[in-house]
């Protein structure tokens, strides 16, 4: 396999599953450290801050600075600031997206107190009927819908569980609007890494288990891609796609 | 308009919207009472028992015996007994579906205590992430998925809010299974009315605002249908369908 300068890893299904590290990926990352090659984590997980993700990685033996972790939460906050600077925002999500939106100085409101201009949704493990009602109604009075990512499901120790995309699509169908998704397969996060570190696209590679998010993100950005068979989309499915990854491997 | 012996009414969007009665429908029903014609309510609402729906109708001035109210909850319980008699059932839903399943002697379990054979879902205004996770995981270990109805959304005073079909489709997509829906447009509830009262199909009419549930239910059963323009699907949309209702009217 070609050597790259910047290795960009998905997390869930690529580096760990649930709380359990994937040994081959951990070994591969330790090897990159020995060779002093750059690596980054590019995740659609918007529920945790980079610091919280840093802790999760430390628990499986990977010590990395928080600024090497790029989450869809950060990218979403940047997108909202660019497109809706003075907007009132109704948010469904966890610490990661809340912290990112607040850090950009955005005005978070409840629908009881103000009519939101934007509904931002990231994965929320306390999501309930009333939150979905509030989002659905806000969209019907003209709010725009932005999702951190469009993952329908993601793997846990016990099986697949609902992802943020499931809930974004639910309220979009109820209100009959089209959502905007910021996370992978949108290339925004890879663009930020490239700009911050000055890599050429040919020096970068995107590594992940999910064809529809990780691999398409790399393809749309325009860098090489590596599919690993350790997560949500199996190699046999990936090989049927029109646009194939640069490499398909069992594990790293 | 032809006179029928049995008038079968949808509720939400046809007889009331939210908690507010639709005057023209209420007058029409009072007229049927004066002419001593039979009328029934055929609803995909599985959250309330017939007795609770009876109370809602009484509040808008319609006094009707509970046994004239046919809910998808009752029909679902009958369906489960027929197809999965000794099954363990994980249920998401409200009083209506719980009462109906228990009345048939079915064994309701939590996924913590037993592996369910069937997941039954009716509208649940306390639905949350953990319930959806439990349902998704049960389906991945082989449980069958049965929804009381497939309504994606339904009207409230403030706008459209998520319906049971939204949540059934969510877990079906996560687990990649096909759900079975028992409520309208399935003709099961009209079949039960016909059998219990001995009507001919030509003597019955199904009245509703929702083409995809009410009108298709009547068409699949084989009776006449009346679309009213007081709810979720507007007349101009209905007139574009291949199979049109017998009558399209503004209101009753």
Q: Does domain A6-44+184-249 have CATH number 1.10.1060.10?
A: no
Active site residues of A: 10, 12
The answer to whether domain B6-44+184-249 and domain B84-181 are alike in fold is: yes
Find the mean pLDDT for residues A125-148: 97
Exposure of B215 in the CB half-sphere (CA atoms within 13 A): 25
Q: Give CA separation, B198 vs A100, B216, B218, in Å.
A: 64, 22, 17
Find the mean pLDDT for residues A24-31: 97
Cβ–Cβ under 8 Å, residues B12 and B229? no
User: For residue A85, what pLDDT is reported?
Assistant: 81
Cβ–Cβ under 8 Å, residues A11 and A153? no
Find the mean pLDDT for residues B156-185: 95
Q: What is the CATH architecture assignment of B84-181?
A: 3-Layer(aba) Sandwich (3.40)
Cβ–Cβ under 8 Å, residues B129 and A128? yes
**Given a cut of 90, is residue B16 above it in pLDDT?**
yes
**Given a cut of 80, is residue B46 above it in pLDDT?**
no
A43-57 tens-digit pLDDT: 988 778 888 999 999
Domain boundaries of chain A, sorted by first residue: 6-44+184-249, 73-181
Find the mean pLDDT for residues A112-121: 95
User: For residue B55, what pLDDT is reported?
Assistant: 95
A107 is in an annotated binding site: no
H helix or E strand, kind and range, residue B190: helix B188-197
Confidence grade of residue B151 (pLDDT, cut at 50, 70, 90): confident
Find the mean pLDDT for residues A190-210: 93
A141-175 tens-digit pLDDT: 999 999 998 889 988 999 999 999 999 999 999 99
Q: Give CA separation, A20 vs A56, A58, A70, A109, B188, in Å.
A: 10, 12, 21, 36, 48
Instruction: Give A249→chain B minimum CA distance, Å.
Output: 25
**Given a cut of 80, is residue B73 above it in pLDDT?**
yes
User: For residue A27, what pLDDT is reported?
Assistant: 97
Q: Both tokens of residue B142? A: 């082989």
Instruction: Give B127→chain A minimum CA distance, Å.
Output: 6
Span A73-181: which CATH code?
3.40.50.1000
CB contact under 8 A, B162 and A133: yes
3-state secondary structure of A191: helix
Cβ–Cβ under 8 Å, residues B213 and B234? no
**Given a cut of 80, is residue B84 above it in pLDDT?**
yes
Which of B140, B160, B170 lies nearest to residue A162, judging by beta carbons? B170
User: For residue A200, what pLDDT is reported?
Assistant: 97
Cβ–Cβ under 8 Å, residues B188 and B196? no
Residue that wins the pLDDT comparison between B155 and A59? A59
Cβ–Cβ under 8 Å, residues A195 and A225? no
A98-112 tens-digit pLDDT: 999 999 899 999 999
3-class SS letters over B191-246: HHHHHHHCCCHHHEEEEECCHHHHHHHHHHHCCEEEEECCCCCCHHHHCCCCCCCC
User: For residue B173, what pLDDT is reported?
Assistant: 98
3-state secondary structure of B120: strand
ipTM value, please give it. Answer: 0.75
Of B123, B148, B147, B152, the residue nearest B210 (C-alpha): B152
Average pLDDT over chain A reads 94
User: For residue A133, what pLDDT is reported?
Assistant: 98
Exposure of B235 in the CB half-sphere (CA atoms within 13 A): 11
Query: Which residues of B does the annotation place in the binding site for substrate?
Result: 184
Angle (CA) B236 B240 B244, round 5°:
100
């Amino acid at each position: 396999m070609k050597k790259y300068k910047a290795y960009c890893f998905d997390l869930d299904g690529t580096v760990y599953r649930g709380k359990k590290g994937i040994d081959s990926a951990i070994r591969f990352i330790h090897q990159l450290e020995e060779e002093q090659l750059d690596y980054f984590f590019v995740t659609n997980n918007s529920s945790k801050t980079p610091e919280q993700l840093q802790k999760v990685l430390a628990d499986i033996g990977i010590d990395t600075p928080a600024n090497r972790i790029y989450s869809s939460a950060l990218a979403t906050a940047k997108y909202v600031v660019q497109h809706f600077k003075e907007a009132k925002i109704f948010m469904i999500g966890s610490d990661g997206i809340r912290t990112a939106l607040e850090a950009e100085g955005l005005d978070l409101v409840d629908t009881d107190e103000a009519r939101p201009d934007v509904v931002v949704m990231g994965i929320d493990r306390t999501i309930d009927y009333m939150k979905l009602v509030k989002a659905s109604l806000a969209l019907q009075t003209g709010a725009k819908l932005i999702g951190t990512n469009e993952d329908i499901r993601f793997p846990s120790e016990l099986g697949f569980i609902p992802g943020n995309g499931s809930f974004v699509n639910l309220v979009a169908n109820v209100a009959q609007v089209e959502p905007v998704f910021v996370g992978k397969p949108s290339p925004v996060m890879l663009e930020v890494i490239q700009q911050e570190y000055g890599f050429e696209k040919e020096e970068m590679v995107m590594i992940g288990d999910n064809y529809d998010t990780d691999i398409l993100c790399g393809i749309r950005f325009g860098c090489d891609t590596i599919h690993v068979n350790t997560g949500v989309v199996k190699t046999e499915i990936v090989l049927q796609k029109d646009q194939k990854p640069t490499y398909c491997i069992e594990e790293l």
